[in-house]
Amino acid sequence: MTTAGTDSKKNRKLMQVLGGQVLPTPPIWLMRQAGRYLPEYRATRGEAGGFLKLCYTPSLAAEVTLQPIRRYGFDAAILFSDILIVPDALGQSVSFLEGEGPKLDPIQSAAELNRLDPSKTGTKFALICETVARLRQDLPSETTLIGFCGAPWTVATYVVGGEGSSDQAAARRFAYRDPKGFQQLIDILVDTSVDYLSQQIEAGADTVMVFDSWAGTLPDREFATWVTAPTARLVRELKKRHPNVPVIGFPRGAGSNALGFVKETGVNGVGCDTAMPLHDMRVLAKDAGVAVQGNIDPLLLVAGGEALDRRIDETLQAMRGLPHIFNLGHGIVPDTPPDHVARLMERVRAFAKVHA
Ligand code: 1CP
């Protein structure tokens, strides 16, 4: 790395906040900032001929990652990919049918775990990492590049259920009936995710985020066993290889389990969902000493107008003096008007000047 390279890295605002700094204007990026609400995304997806083809074609995956950076100038780009790349690379082939979400051939007992083969992941992970490497070349030097994977629990809900569900019943049943067998599945996912995230970091990701979108359906004991403990092991193993790379957790729906999650996993930042009160976000930043990210309701971004302006201001005001990353509480939805995203950016960026 040249000296110039090291210096330009210092301008990455998201990295500064993950390191505990408080900035006058928080860095901003939005979950699912690349996606169907953008016409240019729909065009590139059409060119790729399918969602997975888009993920596995580095030139096109890099292009859709860059689209929202060009349009809005976010402080961070998130690799365009999906959490289901991990089961796909392990050999449980995944398909995305237009308008129907993901489909996998479900694994519902420990006896079927031999269908997952960690020695097979190389080729597919290499394609994703080629996207990461291209992005680091093409992004402005001040833009942070975020790599990611799904958390073991959330990925397991798809491996076992074979599709998305509102209650993750199939995985919960498996975990209650055969906790030892379910632990084997979780362990495979932890080990594979550590390798996968390490490869993304080695290809140029500055930080990594672990999405636990379905953490919220578990009772407290199971939350500790299937969300906190595997994430803690994942973070520990990753930090053995890459001690200086910050990790962002996203235990969506964790509620009052969030503080324990942050303390026990050792994450450097935590994504907060829409239901997390601003007061609790402040407590997380102060008592657990992490950067907090979130938590505007994506549907408020669809509605726009004064209600959105008010919530942006409230959030910025509440988080003043703390390490805060401006974001939504969950991903942008497809019917979001692109203009509303532009208005959000302007308002967040103007806040520090107005309130200086
Ligand atoms: O073009 C399309 O029709 C595909 C829609 C789409 C997109 C844009 C899917 C299918 N995945 C993605 C990209 C994606 N997924 C990103 C890209 C980076 C960005 O944020 O811009 C990321 C980080 C994800 C992560 C992801 N995939 C999560 C965790 C975050 C979350 O939203 O909770 C989950 C749960 C998935 C699974 C998934 N992939 C796609 C869909 C529609 C779903 C949800 C399926 C379901 O449970 O119903």
The CATH number of the domain holding residue 332 is: 3.20.20.210
The per-residue pLDDT for 4 is 46
216: its two tokens: 């919220």
CB 36 less than 6 A from any atom of ligand 1 = yes
Q: Could you read off the pLDDT of 72-99 as tens digits, one per residue?
A: 999 999 999 999 999 999 999 899 988 8
CB 319 less than 6 A from any atom of ligand 1 = no
36 tagged catalytic: yes
117 tagged catalytic: no
Q: What separation in Å is there between the alpha carbon of 142 and the centre of ligand 1?
A: 26
The per-residue pLDDT for 1 is 39
The per-residue pLDDT for 3 is 42
> How far is 299 from 287, CA to CA, in rounded Å?
30
Q: What separation in Å is there between the alpha carbon of 82 and the centre of ligand 1?
A: 6
The per-residue pLDDT for 351 is 86
As for how many domains the chain has, the answer is 1
- Which structural domain range is residue 208 located in? 3-354
Are 152 and 90 within 8 A, CB to CB? no
Catalytic residue selected from 37, 41, 56, 158: 158
> How far is 93 from 189, CA to CA, in rounded Å?
15
> How far is 127 from 237, CA to CA, in rounded Å?
23
> From the alpha carbon of 213, which atom of ligand 1 is closest?
33
Look at phi and psi of residue 227 and say left if phi exceeds 0, alpha if psi is from -120 to 50, else beta. Answer: alpha
Catalytic residue selected from 45, 172, 233, 252: 45
pTM above 0.85, yes or no: yes
The per-residue pLDDT for 7 is 61
CB 128 less than 6 A from any atom of ligand 1 = no
136 tagged catalytic: no
Question: Atom 10 of ligand 1 has which residue's CA nearest to it?
Answer: 101
Q: In the chain, which stretches have pLDDT less than 70?
A: 1-8, 353-354, 356
Report helix, strand and coil shares of the chain as percent, to nearest 5: 55, 10, 30
Catalytic residue selected from 12, 56, 75, 82: 82
